[in-house]
């Protein structure tokens, strides 16, 4: 997508320096900083410190990490070492393990002399596939927005609500939940998006920045406002992303998503999840019981980052000195609260039968 008129992906390969370039998302939306990722430690830090974040982007980054490992030492021992080193960087988003497994399975079959070139080619493929998956999620989600638009009285926009950032910054391009929004806006559909701030890390600010850059009308709201807006008929549909979805359609996403789903159910607001197929964990059935929830640094809750009056970026403390913080980073929305899953192959019910019918070769 575009930043100040220039097209960007959230990561790209620097052919000259033979390194990965990323956008260091810790400084957004206030400062746009590019960064080179050149060592294995850089890769681990980029993922664990959330310079890159969002399930699909974490997966693509890890694939480039495997490529770097193979360029340094293409032995099977180093392949396993790199897999283990990168796998522990973040626990919840399944795309990380999906990408690492895909790389490992492919590279294991090759002679060591071919691994470095092939690993880089595979990382490019994973990144390109992600773009195409998300573009197709947008095509399918657009139909839902079009149907709502047809029913709206003239002059009233389609009102969407989203949580966290399932935007292009969370993927390689397009985003998952935002892809239908961008495509609806490009199709001249009148729409407006309520953007949850998404404490503690305020990824909603990234979503607002993306929507603003693309000209999509939106309003930044506190996390607690969604239920009230739904009660008053101000939300036509919720679309969120996912970091891991179980085979029966339980959706693990950024903390607070579950509360939106409960409010949506109580108010008959359709609750859709944009789901790229690499985010399905076919080994998990009961998402609530089985998906590991990342517990992040307590400082993320007791402090908040923002732009100060002089334009610099700083952290301030919001809780009393010495107060303990608690910071589960994700929650799971059970499938019975999910109206439908918007995948790259079409929209389906949040159920094992429906997911299996759409992705028989993966199930
Ligand atoms: O902790 P993050 O920022 O990596 O969390 C990921 C997310 O942004 C969301 O949970 C998102 O909705 C799913 S990823 C497309």
Q: Is 223 a catalytic residue?
A: no
Residue 263, pLDDT score: 98
| Residue 124 shares a structural domain with residue 83 | yes
d(C-alpha 115, C-alpha 96), whole Å: 20
Residue 306 lies in a domain: yes
Give the CA count within 13 Å in the CB-facing half-sphere of 80.
3
pLDDT (tens digit per residue) in 335-354: 999 999 999 999 999 999 99
Residue-wise pLDDT for 134-169, tens only, equals 999 999 999 999 999 999 999 999 999 999 999 999
pLDDT band at 2 (very low <50, low <70, confident <90, very high): confident
Same domain, 79 and 146: no
- In the predicted structure, residue 326 carries a pLDDT above the cut 90: no
The last residue of a domain, from among 107, 129, 151 = 129
Q: Residue 239: beta bridge partners?
A: 272
Could you report the per-residue pLDDT of 46-58, keeping only the tens digit for each? 999 999 999 999 9
CATH code (residue 104):
1.20.120.420
pLDDT higher than 90, residue 289: yes
Residue 352 in domain: yes
Q: Kindly state the average pLDDT of the residues 196-216.
A: 97
pLDDT at 159 (0 to 100):
98
Q: Are 118 and 143 in the same domain?
A: no
Distance of alpha carbon 172 from alpha carbon 54, whole angstroms: 10
Q: Which of 104, 129, 154 is the last residue of a domain?
A: 129
Same domain, residue pair 123 and 173: no
Residues 201 and 294 both lie in one domain: yes
Give the pLDDT score at 239.
Answer: 99
Domain co-membership, 185 together with 307: yes
Q: Is the dihedral of CA 210, 200, 176, 149 positive or negative?
A: negative
Do the beta carbons of residue 213 and residue 3 sit within 8 Å? yes
Asked if residue 363 is part of any domain, the answer here is no
Q: What is the CB < 6 Å shell around ligand 1?
A: 53-56, 164-166, 170, 176, 203, 240-243, 253-254, 329
Residues 178 and 324 in one domain: yes
Q: Are residues 186 and 287 in the same domain?
A: yes
- Which pLDDT does position 211 carry in this prediction? 98
pLDDT higher than 90, residue 1 = no
Residues 149 and 88 reside in one and the same domain: no
Residue whose CA lies nearest to ligand 1 atom number 9? 254
With respect to residue 108, please indicate whether it lies within any of the assigned structural domains.
Answer: yes
Cα 165 to ligand 1 centre (Å) = 6
Query: Residue 84 pLDDT more than 90?
Result: yes
Q: Are residues 153 and 208 in the same domain?
A: yes
- Residues 143, 44: one domain? no
Instruction: Quote the ligand 1 centre to 76 CA distance (angstroms).
Output: 32
pLDDT, position 117: 98
In a domain, 310, yes or no: yes
**Arithmetic mean of pLDDT over the chain:** 97
CATH code, 319: 3.40.50.10470
Give pLDDT, residue 173. 98
Range of the domain at 26: 2-129
* pLDDT greater than 90 at residue 325: no
Percent pLDDT > 70 in the chain is 100
The tens digit of pLDDT for each residue in 96-143 reads: 999 999 999 999 999 999 999 999 999 999 999 999 999 999 999 999
Q: Which of 22, 94, 165, 281 to mutate to test the pocket of ligand 1 (most atoms within 8 A of CB)?
A: 165
99 or 3: which leads in pLDDT: 99
Considering only CA atoms, which of 249, 253, 247 is closest in space to residue 282?
247
**Does residue 309 lie within any of the structural domains?**
yes
Looking at 95, 129, 163, which one is the last position of a domain?
A: 129
Q: Classify residue 342: in a domain, yes or no.
A: yes
Q: From the CA of 101, how far away is ligand 1's center (Å)? A: 21
Given a cut of 90, is residue 5 above it in pLDDT?
no
- Is 254 a residue whose pLDDT tops 90? yes
User: In Å, how far are 44, 59, 112, 166, 197 from 203, measured between CA atoms?
Assistant: 21, 18, 41, 9, 7
pLDDT mean over 269-274: 99
Considering its fold, how many domains does the chain have in total? 2
Q: What is the mean pLDDT of residues 234-254?
A: 98
What is the per-residue pLDDT for 324? 86
Q: Average pLDDT in the 248-276 region?
A: 98
Does 166 share its domain with 82? no
């Amino acid at each position: 997508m575009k930043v100040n008129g220039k097209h960007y992906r959230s990561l790209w390969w620097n052919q000259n320096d033979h390194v990965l370039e990323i956008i260091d998302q810790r400084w957004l939306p206030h400062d746009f900083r590019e960064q080179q990722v050149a060592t294995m430690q850089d890769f681990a830090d980029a993922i664990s410190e959330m310079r890159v974040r969002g399930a699909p982007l974490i997966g693509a980054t890890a694939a480039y990490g495997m490529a770097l490992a193979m360029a340094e030492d293409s032995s099977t021992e180093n392949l396993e070492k790199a897999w283990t080193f990168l796998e522990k960087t973040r626990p919840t988003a399944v795309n990380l393990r999906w990408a690492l497994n895909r790389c490992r399975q492919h590279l294991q079959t090759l002679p060591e002399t071919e691994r470095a070139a092939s690993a880089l080619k595979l990382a490019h493929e994973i990144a390109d596939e992600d773009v195409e998956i998300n573009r197709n999620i947008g095509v399918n989600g657009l139909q839902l927005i079009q149907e709502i638009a047809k029913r709206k009285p003239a002059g009233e926009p389609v009102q969407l609500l989203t949580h966290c950032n399932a935007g292009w910054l969370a993927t390689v391009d397009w985003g998952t939940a935002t892809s239908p929004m961008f495509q609806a806006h490009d199709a001249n559909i009148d729409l407006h998006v309520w953007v949850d701030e998404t404490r503690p890390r305020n990824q909603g600010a990234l979503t607002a920045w993306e929507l603003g850059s693309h000209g999509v009308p939106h309003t930044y709201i506190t996390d607690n406002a969604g239920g009230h807006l739904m009660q008053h008929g101000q939300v036509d549909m919720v679309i969120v992303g996912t970091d891991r979805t179980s085979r029966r359609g339980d959706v693990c996403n950024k903390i607070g998503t579950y509360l939106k789903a409960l409010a949506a159910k109580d108010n008959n607001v359709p609750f859709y999840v944009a789901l790229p197929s690499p985010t399905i964990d076919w080994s998990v059935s009961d998402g609530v019981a089985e998906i590991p929830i990342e517990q992040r640094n307590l400082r993320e809750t007791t402090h908040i980052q923002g732009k100060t009056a002089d334009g610099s970026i700083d952290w301030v403390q919001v809780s009393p000195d010495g107060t303990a913080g608690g910071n589960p980073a994700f929650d799971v929305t059970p499938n019975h609260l999910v109206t439908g899953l918007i995948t790259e192959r079409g929209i389906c019910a949040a159920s094992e039968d429906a997911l299996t019918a759409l992705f028989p070769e993966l199930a």
